RNA sequence: GGCGGCAUAGCCAAGUGGUAAGGCAGCGGUCUGCAAAACCGUUAUUCACCGGUCCGAAUCCGGUUGCCGCCUCCA
């Protein structure tokens, strides 16, 4: 398995520290507002990473933190006249609700920064003892010039950074590049007792402390959004490596951004769409499919049109599952027999499908390439079902149930196809109908009328109703077992 | 200004040396009372542009243009 390591800017063979086990730390959210689909991408990407690693047989320990003390939380708490804990707990609950809706598996550990203050203080003390950090008036700063490797993750060098650095009035730092490990608390700010007086931790120190506490001084994978490369992860490396003498993680993975109209989606640009709003109009699998159809490091340009296309593609997969299920109804007994191999080639394609999927995913979690494999497979199985002779062959049911099993297995690695086709289409239809502003009853009535006209062989009337429905974006599907309908 | 990334069909997108996956949309056909779904066929002699290396490049090197991100909180 190869994965791209931001640290060395190249794909590297993945070699876990302990055979068969993987420790992953991903930077989670600062809990002060609802999550937007940029957060969703990061969550879905690393959910795919952990799911895929588990699918491959690794025992994964996945840690994702919450930043629950920070300027933005403090500001919001002061504005609302409440505590930072009330704010962070509220948005952690919202976050968890969103993640659950998206089908993101809960991490093994979800540490809060405020639960690890002692660890942070100990870490800061050891940095001071080593002469790498210094205290000034209750603040503590990390001295960048004392750490020779500074800039290795983001590819910057301290001189260049210094040239462009802003020096603010009243700075207590010795060097403009130095960053805060601990901040003396001001009025109306939460505080913890420390050797430097009452204060609160800087942003970067929390991940160094929590990563070390839950995964050890060096773990396998550290992940986050590409915007965290600098300064957050750069500073985290500086702190941890200076304190423990080793890189905190071997592989650094960063997901690309979600853009909207060509610009990065972010709080500051105020151009974000929340997960909650999006899930009102599209099924969570559609959002997941949309995100995973791109390689995780590429930027994505988000639009509702693009999401609609993702829905069309995903529907194709669920339709196949539906078709298999309907083929298999009443025929499963055949699967237990040992029938003659009438479809040897198809059987071998079905059997080798997971391996092809694995090949694509092993190349730096290339889910985009994996979808190519999936759709080739979908077409092949569909063509078998479409073939009348295939239905007569004694091994058809066995092959199709194997195909179904393999497709959902691969889906498990991506977090897709976890619903039954009936559930999926029901939820999809409910959303589409709501968008169209028509009721199920209205459609059902028209479908019944057409059904009557068809029974009377009044084709003109039947076609007229079908056209009316088509005008409403409702497609009719006549099958042996009656008429179904769905939204285009 | 510094650092990094990207540029592939109508749209989206994979592809890091061996002759262009896949999805969406479109067109023709099969199936169907008609449709839909599904299937078959079709849609880039070509990968922003200009040079170079090589038997061979979308893929490597140099240059040009355009877009984006980071350098300040940000997934």
Q: Which residues on adjacent β-strands are paired with residue A5?
A: A10
Asked whether A317 and A369 are in contact (CB, 8 A), the reply is no
Listed as ranges, the nucleotides of chain B within 7 A of a protein C-beta are: 1-6, 11-15, 21-25, 32-40, 67-75
Q: What is the 3-state secondary structure (H, E, C) of A128-179?
A: HHCCCEEEECCEEEECHHHCCCCCCCCCCCHHHHHHHCCCCCCCCCCCCCCE
d(C-alpha A87, C-alpha A55), whole Å? 37
Indicate yes or no: strand B within 7 A of the C-beta of A171.
Answer: no
Q: What integer is the mean pLDDT of A198-225?
A: 96
For residue A9, CA distances in Å to A41, A118, A154, A218, A263 come to: 22, 35, 10, 20, 24
b/e burial code for range A380-391 (CB count within 10 A of at least 16 → b)? bbeebbeeeebe
Residues 319-348/A with CB < 7 A to strand B: 319, 323
Mean pLDDT value across chain A: 92
* A170-184, A193-207, A336-350, A466-480: range with highest mean pLDDT: A193-207
Q: Which of A17-31, A241-255, A467-481 has the lowest mean pLDDT?
A: A467-481
Q: Regarding beta strands A249-255 and A219-225, do their DSSP bridges make them parallel or antiparallel, or are they unpaired?
A: parallel
The pair of structure tokens assigned to A216 is 């050890």
Nucleotide closest to A37 measured between CA and C1' = B75
Q: Which residue is nearest to nucleotide B15 (CA to C1')?
A: A369
d(C-alpha A396, C-alpha A332), whole Å? 10
Residue A276 CA neighbour count, 13 Å, CB half? 9
Indicate yes or no: strand B within 7 A of the C-beta of A75.
Answer: no
d(C-alpha A204, C-alpha A197), whole Å? 20
pLDDT value at position A229? Answer: 94
Q: Regarding beta strands A258-260 and A300-302, do their DSSP bridges make them parallel or antiparallel, or are they unpaired?
A: parallel
Model confidence pLDDT, tens digit, residues A135-166: 999 999 999 999 999 999 998 888 888 876 66
Q: What integer is the mean pLDDT of A393-402?
A: 89
Residues 444-473/A with CB < 7 A to strand B: 454, 459-460, 462-463, 466, 470
Collect all residues with Cβ–Cβ distance below 8 Å to A264 and sequence separation of at least 6. Answer: A38, A257, A258
Asked whether A170 and A136 are in contact (CB, 8 A), the reply is no
- Between CA A299 and C1' B66 the distance (Å) reads 17
- Between CA A45 and C1' B50 the distance (Å) reads 39
Query: Does the ipTM surpass 0.90?
Result: yes
**Dihedrals phi, psi of A450, to nearest 5 degrees:** -65, -40
């Amino acid at each position: 398995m190869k994965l791209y390591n931001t640290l060395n800017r190249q794909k590297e063979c993945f070699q876990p520290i302990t055979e068969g086990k993987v420790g992953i730390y991903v930077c989670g959210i600062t809990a002060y507002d609802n999550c937007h689909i940029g957060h969703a991408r990061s969550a879905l990407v690393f959910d795919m990473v952990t799911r895929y690693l588990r699918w491959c047989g690794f025992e994964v320990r996945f840690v994702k933190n919450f930043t629950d003390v920070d300027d933005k939380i403090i500001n919001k708490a002061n504005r609302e006249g409440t505590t930072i804990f009330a704010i962070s707990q509220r948005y952690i609950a919202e976050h968890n609700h969103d993640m659950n809706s998206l089908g993101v598996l809960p991490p093994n550990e979800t540490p809060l920064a405020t639960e690890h203050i002692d660890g942070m203080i100990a870490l800061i003390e050891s940095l001071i003892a080593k002469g790498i950090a210094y205290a000034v008036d209750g603040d503590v700063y990390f001295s960048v010039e004392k750490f020779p490797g500074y800039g290795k993750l983001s590819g910057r060098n301290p001189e260049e950074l210094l040239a462009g650095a802003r020096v603010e009035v009243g700075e207590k730092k010795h060097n403009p590049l130095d960053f805060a490990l601990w901040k003396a608390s001001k009025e109306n700010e939460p505080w913890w007792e420390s050797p430097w007086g009452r204060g609160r931790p800087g942003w970067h120190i929390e991940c160094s402390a929590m990563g070390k506490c839950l995964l050890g001084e060096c773990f396998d994978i550290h992940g986050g959004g590409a915007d965290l490369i600098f300064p957050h992860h750069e500073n985290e490396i500086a702190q941890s490596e200076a304190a423990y003498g080793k890189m905190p993680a071997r592989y650094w993975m960063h997901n690309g951004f979600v853009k909207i109209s060509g610009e990065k989606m972010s709080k500051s640009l105020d151009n974000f769409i929340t997960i909650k709003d999006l899930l009102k109009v599209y099924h969570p699998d559609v959002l997941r499919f949309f995100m995973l159809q791109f390689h995780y490091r590429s930027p994505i340009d988000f639009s509702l049109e693009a999401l609609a296309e993702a829905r069309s593609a995903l529907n194709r997969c669920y339709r196949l599952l539906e078709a298999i299920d309907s083929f298999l109804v009443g025929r499963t007994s055949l699967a237990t027999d040992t029938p003659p191999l009438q479809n040897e080639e198809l059987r071998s394609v079905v059997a080798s499908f997971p391996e092809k999927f694995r090949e694509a995913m092993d190349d730096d979690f290339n889910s985009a390439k994996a979808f190519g494999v999936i759709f080739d497979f979908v077409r092949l199985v569909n063509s078998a079902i479409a073939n009348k002779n295939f239905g007569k062959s004694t091994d058809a049911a066995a092959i199709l149930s194997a195909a179904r099993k393999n497709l959902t297995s691969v889906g498990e690695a991506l977090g897709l196809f976890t619903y039954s086709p009936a559930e999926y289409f029901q939820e999809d239809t409910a959303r589409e109908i709501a968008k169209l502003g028509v009721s199920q009853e209205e459609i059902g009535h028209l479908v019944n009328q057409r059904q009557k006209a068809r029974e009377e062989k009044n084709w003109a009337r039947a076609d007229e109703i079908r056209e009316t429905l088509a005008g409403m974006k409702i497609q009719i599907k006549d099958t042996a077992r009656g008429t179904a309908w769905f939204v285009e």
